[in-house]
Amino acid sequence: AVLVEHTFVVSQMNMTHLCKKTPVTVVNGQLPGPAIKVTEGDSVAVHVINKSPYNITIHWHGVKQWLNCWADGVPMITQPAIQPSHNFTYRFNVVGQEGTLWWHAHVPCLRATLHGALIIRPKNGAASYPFPKPHREVPIIIGDWWEMDLGQVGRNMMHGLFDDFASASTINGKLGDLFNCSGTPEDGYVLDVEPGKTYLLRVINAGLFSEFYLKIAGHKFTVVAADANYVIPYTTDVIAIAPGETVDALLVADAPPGRYYMVALPNQAPLPDTQTPEHATRGMVRYGNNHYLPGTGAPAPILPKMPNQHDVITSFYFHGNMTSQHHRQGSPVPVEVDERLFIVLGLGAVCPQGRTCERGAFDSSNNLLVATMNNVSFQPPATTMTPLLEAQYYHTGSINKTQELPDWPPVLFNFTDPSLIPFGPKESRLEQSSRGTVVRRFQHGSVVEVVFQSSAMLQGDSNPMHLHGHDMFVLAQGFGNYDATKDVASYNLLNPPMKNTVLVPNLGWVAVRFVANNPGVWFMHCHFEFHLAMGMAAVFIVEDGPTVDTSLPPPPMGFPTRGHEHNLMPD
Ligand code: C2O
């Protein structure tokens, strides 16, 4: 094992797309940011130098941070944010995980431009992949191009305003030739391939809102891993990927030499519904690289036939096809469940302090629209307070200024009734919600089962639910309302896939199980940025175990604490 060291200079710079110079906040001048490549078992140190005007943190999405919650990078949950002209060093080990993860800023909306791949290769190299050794490995990061100030977009969202959209989707930072600046097509991402060779695509959805369908004309994918967990390989011509998810897929260059479009089709704006789905962000797979000069009569690149952008069935089956590589999975699915939560995802109204609001009447001038889990909306501790992890570790009083996440929704109703009107003057069923720093505590080692139930209030928006510090066994999914009396029978307890981000089917549910064995304070939230900014989040607190090996160690040297300054040491 070695130490992999990076310096991330976060700064604002101008980038030009669509004829417009736009200030963007990036790491080391790159978009996407630098890829971190490690071998399983390595240690990582990332020195973050914040030269941007924003408070930021960096989160290592999917890294388990075993006994190392201090490095998880969530502002006011695990650490105070890194202020402008301040530095912070993240140190962590990558143990027991292989595949594709990623890193991103964990402040509203800035992750749209502050992100990059985190690639974990097996100890014995590519020879120990449970699939044919690829000729090359290629990150494919799907993202957004925004022409707006993302800090402002984030603030708008926190006030319940969702009117801002990206200008284009991107593949590895490129918009593709359907977008142009005064008639000059934008560059698209090009993957040059050699006939007959196999490529491992490490696909990451770093977009703020959209699920994507990814296709390459004339080619199929073999999915081999998701969220850095191997799956039993399966073949598909389309990849469905929600914000926060990663998919590793093999691509064999077995088509007649030529050029084939790679299309990333979002299910949200910027793509208007009226456009043909093929007209989305596209890159290209190109055989050979110098046979396609203009005027040589080379045939036009071939377009794939895309699913409808709002097709939820294709995504449902893509995710439902995943089963884990049983023999490589660390532990079997626990059968006895200690804690059960049924979490309904919804929207609610909060009456701002000092006002009176008419119950059941949503009126944006009076109420604040919030996103909820069991009708409670998450509010992070104020920046003047002690971050939750520090408060939990030192047992300070502020850990008690939290609110318990209910295990069950306060009222049962027909969650997926399409006539459910989220908000409106009279017939509104939007609940008055409460707001607070929502936590749920678990004894060390508890087996927790969570059913996430989506509701019609969300109007088709995605709910990719992400848990920090743990992977979840994904036992089953379905459409409609979850019904324990019959749905438990569909649980896959033999080889369910393990994910850190699990997509709740639109107007449906998903059941997961995890073992709460990593002591600390872990964020659990929707990775659809608007929902997160509006409070669809909670903190899972995992208590220390009985031994030193199962307890959270003190903060690392130099970790900035509030009121526990004795630990301050030069970095
Ligand atoms: Cu990828 Cu809490 O986030």
Q: What is the pLDDT of residue 82?
A: 97
* pLDDT at residue number 417: 87
Q: Which domain holds residue 260?
A: 3-324
Q: What is the DSSP string of 468-512?
A: SS--EEEEEEEESS--HHHHGGG---SS--EESEEEEPTTEEEEE
CA of 287 to the centre of ligand 1 (A): 36
In a domain, residue 555? The reply is no
Residues 316 and 334 in one domain: no
pLDDT for res 410: 86
CA 342 to ligand 1 centroid distance, Å: 21
- What's the pLDDT score for residue 270? 67
Distances (CA, A) of 416 to 422, 457, 478: 12, 8, 12
Atom 1 of ligand 1: nearest residue by CA position: 61
Residue 571 placed within a domain: no
Contact at 8 Å (CB) between 503 and 211? yes
466 lines ligand 1 (CB under 6 A): yes
Q: How far does the centroid of ligand 1 lie from the alpha carbon of residue 407, in Å? A: 22
Among the candidates 324, 357, 391, a domain finishes at 324
Which structure tokens are listed for 282?
A: 């596209």
Which of 324, 340, 370 is the endpoint of a domain? Answer: 324
Q: What is the ipTM of this complex?
A: 0.99
pLDDT recorded at residue 432: 79
Looking at residue 429, what is its pLDDT? 55
**336 plus 313 within the same structural domain:** no
Q: Is 523 touching ligand 1 by the criterion CB < 6 Å?
A: yes
Domain count, the chain: 2
In a domain, 303, yes or no: yes
Q: Is the CB of 111 under 6 A from ligand 1?
A: no
Q: How far is the CA of 251 from the centre of ligand 1 (A)?
A: 28
User: Same domain for 316 and 332?
Assistant: no
Residues 316 and 367 reside in one and the same domain? no
Q: Which of 300, 324, 348 is the last residue of a domain?
A: 324
Q: What is the atom index within ligand 1 of the atom nearest the CA of 111? A: 1
195 and 333 both lie in a single domain: no
One-letter amino acid identity for 31?
L
Do 210 and 132 share a domain, yes or no?
Answer: yes
**Quick one: pLDDT at residue 427?**
42
Can you tell me the distance from the alpha carbon of 463 to that of 526, in angstroms, rounded to the nearest whole number?
6
Q: Are 339 and 442 in contact (CB under 8 A)?
A: yes
Please report the atom of ligand 1 found closest to the CA of residue 244: 1
- Sort 551 into a burial class: Cβ within 10 Å, 0-12 / 13-18 / 19+: middle
Contact 63, 94 (CB under 8 A): yes
3-state secondary structure 59-93: EEECCCCCCCHHHCCCECCCECCECCCCEEEEEEE
Other Cβ atoms less than 10 A from the Cβ of 472: the count is: 26
Q: Kindly give the parts of the chain with pLDDT less than 70.
A: 270-279, 289-291, 294, 326-330, 358-365, 421-431, 563-571
The pTM of the full predicted model, rounded to 2 decimals, is 0.95
- Structural domain contains residue 268: yes
Residue 369, helix vs strand vs coil: strand
Task: Retrieve residue 123's tokens.
Answer: 């100890």
Judgement on whether residues 286 and 364 belong to the same structural domain of the protein: no
As a whole number of angstroms, the distance between CA 466 and CA 461 comes to 15
Please tell me the predicted confidence (pLDDT) of residue 90.
Answer: 98
Ligand 1 near 104 CB (within 6 A): yes
Residue 304 maps to which CATH number?
Answer: 2.60.40.420
61 CB within 6 A, ligand 1: yes
pLDDT of residue 222: 98
Distance CA 55, CA 370 (A): 23
Q: Separation of 312 CA from ligand 1 center, angstroms?
A: 23
Q: Is the CB of 531 under 6 A from ligand 1?
A: no
User: How far does the centroid of ligand 1 lie from the alpha carbon of residue 466, in Å?
Assistant: 6
| Co-location of 284 and 407 in the same domain | no
Q: How do residues 516-537 score in pLDDT, each as one tens digit?
A: 999 999 999 999 999 999 999 9
* Residues 107 and 212 occupy one common structural domain: yes
> pLDDT digit string (tens) for 225-235?
999 999 999 99
307 and 426 both lie in a single domain: no
Structural domain contains residue 560: no
In sequence order, which residues have a C-beta less than 8 Å from that of residue 106 and are 6 or more positions away? Answer: 56, 57, 58, 59, 73, 74, 75
Q: How far apart are CA 198 and CA 134, in angstroms?
A: 5
Among 48, 47, 57, which Cα is nearest to 78's?
A: 57
- Tell me the CB-side half-sphere exposure of residue 452, using CA atoms within 13 A: 30
Query: How many Å lie between the centroid of ligand 1 and the Cα of residue 106?
Result: 7
Instruction: Report if residue 438 sits inside a domain.
Output: yes
Indicate whether 564 belongs to any domain: no
> Ligand 1 centre and the CA of 377: distance in Å?
17
Tell the residue nearest (CA) to atom 3 of ligand 1.
61
Q: Which pLDDT score, from 0 to 100, does residue 473 have?
A: 96
Mark 495-507 as b/e (b = at least 16 C-beta within 10 Å): bbbbbbbbbbbbb
Read out DSSP for 38-61?
A: EETT-EEEEEEEE-SSS-B-EEEE
Q: Distances from the Cα of 294 to the Cαs of 186, 191, 297, 377, in angstroms?
A: 17, 19, 7, 56
Beta-carbon count within 10 A of 388 CB: 26
DSSP letter assigned to residue 367: S
Asked whether residue 429 is domain-assigned, the answer is yes
Q: Are residues 261 and 344 both part of a single domain?
A: no
- Ligand 1 atom at minimum distance from 74 CA: 2
d(CA 524, CA 538): 5
Do 213 and 304 meet the contact criterion of CB atoms below 8 Å apart? no
d(CA 304, CA 218): 7
Residues 415 and 316 in one domain: no
Of 136, 128, 121, give the one whose Cα is nearest residue 38. Answer: 121
